[in-house]
Structure 1
Amino acid sequence: MSEWCGWREATERALYGPDGFYTRSGGPGPAGHFRTSVHVSPRYADAVATLLRRVDTALGHPDELAVVDVGAGRGELLTGVLAALPDEVGARVRPYAVERAARPEGLDPRIEWRDGLPAPGSLTGLLFANEWLDNVPVDVVETDADGVPRRVLVRADGTERLGEPVDGADAEWLRRWWTPPLGPYEPAPGATAAPGGTASGPTLATPDHVPAPAPGLRAEIGRPRDAAWARAVRTLRAGLAVAADYAHDRADRPLFGTLTGFREGREVRPVPDGSCDITAHVALDACAGPSAELLSQRAALHALGVSGRRPPLALASTDPAAYVRALSSAGAAAELTDPAGLGGFGWLLQPVGEACRGLLTP
């Protein structure tokens, strides 16, 4: 790819093309480049299994209970969830892994491996998307010297330049969901320039002006993620859909965007040549539909029984091996719930139907 194109198109090729980062055969898969909550500890899969059991109870123990892992990697989360379920529930569970990469060898034969979502309205149960939306490709915009948001164009070597101004539905999304707003700037009627400023700059001298964005601000246009999440939720006839991801909300959008890359455990410059993961934080509040609930991973996991509380010291005297196991488990739980790390991730819970509302309410 030597030509210029938007980041959304470039990322699609780099991640999911014929020799993309996620689709190429062989290698360690995503786990060889970065750790997700799934890889930190089996307690994460245990928590998802607990949530699945709550969904099962809320739905009245259906004869077939679906669990859909969107962005399944190598199937690690589903493998852990199935291992954590009691036999009575496991016998009714139908697990689906949605992933564009080929099915890994040795995967539990009960897991149905798919490269796309099941049909809309076809399943009853839990849909879980762990760090999936951050890899749904999006376009990037940057404000020019006049504060006008323009699409950022990129080549395969990562070189960038500014393209055309943002317009249409993308501009409307920016106006609605990004603060400071990065929609096309129009001075207020009758605005005049303050000393040292211009009518297109950020220092207009009228009480009702709308300041133009400063030059160099960046944002990711989340409309493709909104659409992808809405399609995922529609898979369910009844149940609960959950997205867990790097996230920010409208009141705290980053001024310079979050687009980045990962390779071999390190954060690197995002280069859309297939050599690294390309990711950006998710505006989960824009994805949320009616009756959705937004909370931190720390709060969600606490509600599912995951705690980093250390075991009582007395256990070290009576059962040293059990104490060491409990201490290790507490350490992993602390990492999963650390508010400055994985615990600061966002969880978006979207019930489908009335039965699965409030399943994480204390």
Structure 2
Amino acid sequence: MHADSPLPTPEPEALQVSQHLLERVRQEINAGDGWMSFHRYMELALYAPALGYYTAGSHKLGRGGDFITAPEVSPLFGRCVARQCAQVLESLGGGDILEFGAGTGVLAVEILTALEGLESLPDRYLILELSPDLRQRQRAAVALLPEALRNRVQWLDALPEPGSLRGVMLGNEVLDAMPVQVFHWHDGAVRERGVALGERLEWADRPAGETLADTVHVLHDTTGGAWPSGYVSEINPGLSGWLRAAAECLAAGVILLVDYGYPRQEYYSPERYRGTLMAHYRHRALDEPLVWPGIVDITAHVDFTAVAEAGEAAGLSLLGYTTQAWFLMGAGLESVFQACQAEGLREQMDLAAQVRMLTLPGEMGERFQVMALGRGVPVPLMGFSGRDLIPRL
């Protein structure tokens, strides 16, 4: 929903934290000759210790927060993901699950509960979470599980040792929260978009550095070379390093990534001339990400071609790529739906509405994509058995 009406005013405590973060941003801008890259701004806005969106303790996810993710939409999502995890764990003879950025803990709870029913529990369910607030919410959710399940859950402060993990690594809406560089294309000249000080924070461009300029020129040439002057888009410079670090931990298994995004040709199409950057606040999508630093979430869509390239450069194989709708159907959505159907029309209608939200093209079904990268997995992954979108990469 776009903000076509006045935005709800944040709580005074949140505004106070935002002012502290804004002062830090101002100091860095002044120290940087009046300019800060948007990449650095996004890093501070989301992750500055005790001040950023994910580190300052505000209520973020779920119906009372700023946005809702698929695990909160329906338990059907987690139960389908669990079936994919079960297939991988069984093919490896057991192992662990590691979830990056586990949100409210709902997905972990659903997966563990479903895997117990499938008699395919992981040895450990590891959670790597940067947000102190979300870690607290996850602990509260996990505490409601039976002892045999909650004792398998461990929180990590860093990735496991290289080569120490066998199993599944999950990232649901993780890549979209990684800081991005924003570029501006002017008739062949590349400028980097950043932040400067005016009456408030405002956009300001500078000539791009050599690395960014070269990358953008390659993108332009390989995606058709038809960008209009003034074209704006994003690049995620941290993607390769993140995937390389994750791959180093994985002795055998799958990295399963779910996010909104496109293959490269679609991401950098001339029609998408304003890029994909947006902010989220109280279930509204805002076109302006510079308001209320630390209070609004900032995201960019995912270039899944870049994800596949980074995974393969890190020594992983591309095991599958499809839409969320097709992944859920391949992972047994119909069977899960039938098993979850409760008696009574109201519950059945609610479940049917959840299926529509998860799978319809105008909802989450096609906007969200699923990719699997891995090594040492001897079976084709069930979630990718329906529609193969790898040729679109």
TM-score bucket of the superposed structures, by smaller chain:
0.7 to 0.9
Structure 2 equivalent of residue 355 of structure 1: 378
Q: Please give the alpha-carbon distance, in whole angstroms, between the structure 1 residues aligned to 2:81 and 2:121.
A: 17
1:106 to 106, 126, 140: 140
What is the CA distance between 1:326 and its match in structure 2?
A: 2.9
Output aligned runs, 1:30-45, within 5 Å.
30-31=61-62, 32-45=65-78
Q: Please give the alpha-carbon distance, in whole angstroms, between the structure 1 residues aligned to 2:123 and 2:206.
A: 49
CA contact (8 A) 1:247 1:284 kept: yes
> Do residues 119 (structure 1) and 161 (structure 2) align?
yes
Structure 1 equivalent of residue 127 of structure 2: 97
Instruction: Summarize deviations over 1:45-86 as a string: whole Å, max 9, x none.
Output: 101111111111211x32xx2111112123221122112122
- In the alignment, structure 2 segments of 5+ residues that lack a partner are 1-24, 30-34, 143-149, 387-393
What is the CA distance between 1:22 and its match in structure 2?
A: 0.6
Cα separation, partners in 2 of 1:158 and 1:79, compared to 1, 3 Å: farther
Structure 2 equivalent of residue 69 of structure 1: 99
What is the CA distance between 1:177 and its match in structure 2?
A: 4.2
Cα separation, partners in 2 of 1:121 and 1:176, compared to 1, 3 Å: farther
Output aligned runs, 1:73-88, within 5 Å.
73-86=103-116
> Do residues 161 (structure 1) and 204 (structure 2) align?
yes
What is the percentage of aligned positions where both structures have the same residue?
Answer: 27
Output aligned runs, 1:132-143, within 5 Å.
132-143=174-185
Return the letter of the residue paired with 1:106.
Answer: A
| 1:121 alignment partner, SS class | coil
Structure 2 equivalent of residue 264 of structure 1: 282
Cα separation, partners in 2 of 1:336 and 1:179, compared to 1, 3 Å: farther
Q: Please give the alpha-carbon distance, in whole angstroms, between the structure 1 residues aligned to 2:372 and 2:48.
A: 31
Larger displacement relative to structure 2 (27-36 or 102-111): 102-111
Larger displacement relative to structure 2 (87-96 or 285-294): 87-96
What is the CA distance between 1:233 and its match in structure 2?
A: 3.1
| 1:150 alignment partner, SS class | strand
Output aligned runs, 1:230-241, within 5 Å.
230-241=244-255
Larger displacement relative to structure 2 (147-156 or 11-20): 147-156
Larger radius of gyration: 1
Cα separation, partners in 2 of 1:211 and 1:107, compared to 1, 3 Å: closer
Cα separation, partners in 2 of 1:304 and 1:14, compared to 1, 3 Å: same
1:20 to 52, 58, 72: 52
When normalised by structure 2's length, the TM-score is 0.75
| 2:76 alignment partner, SS class | helix
Q: Please give the alpha-carbon distance, in whole angstroms, between the structure 2 residues aligned to 1:265 and 1:179.
A: 37
What is the CA distance between 1:118 and its match in structure 2?
A: 2.0
Cα separation, partners in 2 of 1:310 and 1:36, compared to 1, 3 Å: closer
Structure 1 equivalent of residue 349 of structure 2: 327
CA contact (8 A) 2:231 2:273 kept: yes
CA contact (8 A) 2:86 2:120 kept: no
| 1:234 alignment partner, SS class | helix
CA contact (8 A) 1:151 1:162 kept: yes
Return the letter of the residue paired with 1:329.
Answer: L
| 1:171 alignment partner, SS class | helix
Q: Please give the alpha-carbon distance, in whole angstroms, between the structure 2 residues aligned to 1:49 and 1:214.
A: 44
Q: Please give the alpha-carbon distance, in whole angstroms, between the structure 2 residues aligned to 1:173 and 1:151.
A: 12
Structure 1 equivalent of residue 14 of structure 2: none
Larger displacement relative to structure 2 (215-224 or 278-287): 215-224
Output aligned runs, 1:141-156, within 5 Å.
141-144=183-186, 146-155=187-196
Structure 1 equivalent of residue 16 of structure 2: none
| 2:343 alignment partner, SS class | helix
CA contact (8 A) 1:230 1:287 kept: no
> Do residues 341 (structure 1) and 368 (structure 2) align?
no
Q: Please give the alpha-carbon distance, in whole angstroms, between the structure 2 residues aligned to 1:140 and 1:245.
A: 19
Q: Please give the alpha-carbon distance, in whole angstroms, between the structure 1 residues aligned to 2:345 and 2:256.
A: 33
Higher helix fraction (1 or 2): 2
- In the alignment, structure 1 segments of 5+ residues that lack a partner are 182-209, 312-318
Return the letter of the residue paired with 2:361.
Answer: P
When normalised by structure 1's length, the TM-score is 0.81
Count of aligned pairs: 321
1:5 to 32, 36, 43: 36
Q: Please give the alpha-carbon distance, in whole angstroms, between the structure 2 residues aligned to 1:9 and 1:24.
A: 18
Give the 4+ runs in structure 1 shifted more than 6 A: 308-311
Q: Please give the alpha-carbon distance, in whole angstroms, between the structure 2 residues aligned to 1:90 and 1:308.
A: 17
Instruction: Summarize deviations over 1:118-160 as a string: whole Å, max 9, x none.
Output: 223211111110000000101100123x441111011484411
Structure 1 equivalent of residue 330 of structure 2: 303
Return the letter of the residue paired with 1:123.
Answer: L
Q: Please give the alpha-carbon distance, in whole angstroms, between the structure 2 residues aligned to 1:264 and 1:341.
A: 18
Return the letter of the residue paired with 1:138.
Answer: V
What is the CA distance between 1:88 and its match in structure 2?
A: 7.4
**For the aligned residues, what is the CA RMSD?**
2.7
Return the letter of the residue paired with 2:206.
Answer: G
What is the CA distance between 1:338 and its match in structure 2?
A: 1.2
CA contact (8 A) 1:308 1:337 kept: no
Q: Please give the alpha-carbon distance, in whole angstroms, between the structure 1 residues aligned to 2:348 and 2:247.
A: 37
